[in-house]
């Protein structure tokens, strides 16, 4: 199955 990723895995905190 697939699960929903969150943006924190792709974008970085500035």
Using CA atoms, how far apart are residues 4 and 14, in angstroms rounded to an integer? 23
> The tokens of 10 are what?
């792709």
Using CA atoms, how far apart are residues 3 and 12, in angstroms rounded to an integer? 21
Segment 1 to 14, residues that bind another protein, using CB under 8 A:
1-14
Minimum distance from residue 12 beta carbon to another protein (Å)? 5
Minimum distance from residue 9 beta carbon to another protein (Å)? 7
Number of amino acids touching another protein (CB under 8 A): 14
> The tokens of 5 are what?
């990723």
Interface positions with another protein (CB under 8 A): 1-14
């Amino acid at each position: 199955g697939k699960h929903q990723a969150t943006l924190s895995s792709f974008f970085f905190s500035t």
